[in-house]
């Protein structure tokens, strides 16, 4: 058993808005006093985080003067130096200000679309100044309550134009930065465009610089869409597009709960960690989540430590799964290949096609084979329950 102590190489990160969440919700006011970015950096250092992320507005108030901005950045940099935390990711708040009430890049008002580009360029400058290498775009307001208001194709075109413009901005400034698009199906808008990580992968393929752009899938958001999060992450990984990930948890069929990682669906959290670790994912393990509204700041630290510990425990369980002789023997049996189909595999040739069309298959015999998945899944459950 390891000690589940976080190390820098684990790359556990939190946004300022996560541990800084004051507990406000649509039906209640804050329950925790607000902490400054510097205080939050020290809190994250105390729980063993590797890095801290932020929206522009989390760090610099939107109406701050240039000298106030410089002071805040100077103090933040000092806290980073003092604690050793880094800033792997930054992002723009394009959803809080009333100006974005009908979206930012997809707004029907060209002034709003232009302001959103301006705000994002300034936020990119800030993120790069503090060391970010990944820039996330979450279009929380890029949606609608009525499709009478906007042609959904216009929304796609406007999003593409904004992303192309901002990719060119990064190239023009010679920044070492890549973009990660984060999807969510709804909330705060009734329907949000580009609703899942899959939609984002399709959009990326249509951009001028697709090589600069990947995805930032979030557990809660794909669960809100009723999807298997691990499958979505696998698709992004296989495409070389998993540039970042937002870890948390979520009961299906609920509003965005942003629960502590592993707090609800332990089994799916296990398969996600196994996928990331088996495939050598080298990005941040970013917890985009917050403590229950019932908690004080000691509870917030419990929340952050719980995210980290659960990830590390599941990482160890994944190693145990891969080393478990009974499980691995069963998987070998399930995936046995007698080589008889080898001549049909690989790239197409007309000879292969003709031979395959002439091949006979005993459907009855093949369909009778028991696959042992009940035993395999029970062994997995027992491993997760700690008796293997």
Binding site for ligand DIG (CB under 6 A): 15, 17, 55, 91, 136, 138, 182, 218, 246, 288
By CB atoms closer than 10 A (0-12, 13-18, 19+), residue 376 is middle
Measured distance CA(304)–CA(85) in Å, rounded: 15
User: Where along the sequence are the contacts to Mn ion (CB under 5 A)?
Assistant: 218, 220, 246, 256, 258, 288
Q: Are 275 and 234 in contact (CB under 8 A)?
A: yes
Measured distance CA(213)–CA(163) in Å, rounded: 9
CB of 299 to ligand DIG, least distance (A): 20
91 binds, among Mn ion, ligand DIG, none (CB under 5 to 8 A by kind): ligand DIG
Catalytic one among 55, 221, 223, 290? 55
Q: Are 115 and 100 in contact (CB under 8 A)?
A: no
136 binds, among Mn ion, ligand DIG, none (CB under 5 to 8 A by kind): ligand DIG
Q: Which is nearer to Mn ion, 57 or 246 (CB)?
A: 246
Measured distance CA(288)–CA(18) in Å, rounded: 6
Which tokens sit at 325? Answer: 């002789």
| Residue 290 known to be catalytic | no
| Residue 58 known to be catalytic | yes
Q: Are 376 and 327 in contact (CB under 8 A)?
A: yes
Measured distance CA(76)–CA(81) in Å, rounded: 9
Which tokens sit at 326? Answer: 């009974």
Q: Which is nearer to ligand DIG, 158 or 244 (CB)?
A: 244
Measured distance CA(133)–CA(382) in Å, rounded: 40
102 binds, among Mn ion, ligand DIG, none (CB under 5 to 8 A by kind): none
CB of 142 to ligand DIG, least distance (A): 12
Q: Which is nearer to ligand DIG, 142 or 288 (CB)?
A: 288
Q: Which is nearer to Mn ion, 228 or 328 (CB)?
A: 228
CB of 137 to ligand DIG, least distance (A): 8
Catalytic one among 57, 58, 246, 288? 58
CB of 75 to ligand DIG, least distance (A): 23
142 binds, among ligand DIG, Mn ion, none (CB under 5 to 8 A by kind): none
Q: Which is nearer to Mn ion, 58 or 218 (CB)?
A: 218
CB of 96 to ligand DIG, least distance (A): 10
Scanning the chain, the segments in alpha helix (DSSP H) are: 16-19, 37-47, 56-59, 66-83, 110-129, 152-172, 197-204, 219-224, 229-238, 266-278, 297-323, 325-334, 350-358, 363-367, 373-384
Q: What amino acid positions are annotated as catalytic residues?
A: 55, 58
């Amino acid at each position: 058993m390891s000690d589940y102590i976080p190390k820098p190489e684990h790359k556990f990160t939190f946004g300022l808005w996560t541990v800084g969440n004051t507990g406000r919700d649509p039906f209640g006011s804050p329950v925790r006093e607000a902490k400054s970015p510097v205080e939050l950096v020290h809190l994250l250092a105390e729980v063993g985080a590797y890095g801290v992320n932020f929206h522009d507005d989390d760090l610099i108030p939107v109406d701050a003067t240039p000298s106030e901005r410089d002071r805040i950045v100077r103090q933040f940099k000092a806290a980073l130096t003092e604690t050793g935390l880094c800033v792997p990711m930054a992002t723009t708040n394009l959803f809080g200000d009333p100006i974005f009430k009908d979206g930012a890049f997809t707004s029907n008002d060209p002034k709003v679309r232009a302001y959103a580009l301006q705000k994002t360029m300034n936020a990119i400058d800030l993120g790069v100044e503090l060391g970010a290498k990944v820039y996330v775009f979450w279009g929380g307001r890029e949606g609608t309550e009525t499709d009478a208001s906007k042609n959904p194709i216009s929304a796609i075109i406007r999003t593409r134009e904004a992303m192309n413009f901002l990719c060119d901005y990064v190239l023009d400034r010679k920044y070492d930065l890549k973009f990660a698009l984060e999807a969510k199906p709804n909330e705060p808008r009734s329907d949000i465009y580009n609703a899942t990580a899959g939609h984002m992968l399709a959009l990326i393929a249509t951009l001028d610089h697709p090589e600069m752009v990947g995805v930032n899938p979030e557990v809660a958001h794909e669960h809100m869409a009723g999807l298997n999060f691990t499958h979505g992450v696998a698709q992004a990984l296989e495409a070389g597009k998993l540039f970042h990930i937002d870890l948390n948890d979520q009961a299906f069929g609920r509003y965005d709960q942003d629960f502590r990682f592993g707090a609800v669906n332990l089994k799916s959290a296990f398969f996600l960690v196994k996928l990331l670790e088996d495939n050598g994912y080298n990005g941040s393990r970013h917890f985009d989540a917050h403590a229950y509204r019932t908690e004080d700041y000691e509870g917030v630290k419990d929340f952050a430590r719980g995210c980290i510990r659960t990830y590390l425990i599941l990482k160890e369980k994944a190693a145990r799964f891969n080393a478990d002789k009974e499980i691995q023997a069963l998987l070998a049996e399930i995936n046995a290949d007698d080589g008889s189909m080898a001549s049909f595999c690989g790239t197409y040739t007309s000879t292969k096609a003709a031979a395959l069309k002439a091949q006979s298959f005993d459907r009855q015999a093949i369909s009778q084979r028991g696959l042992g998945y009940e035993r395999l899944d029970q062994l997995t459950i027992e491993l997760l329950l700690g008796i293997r």
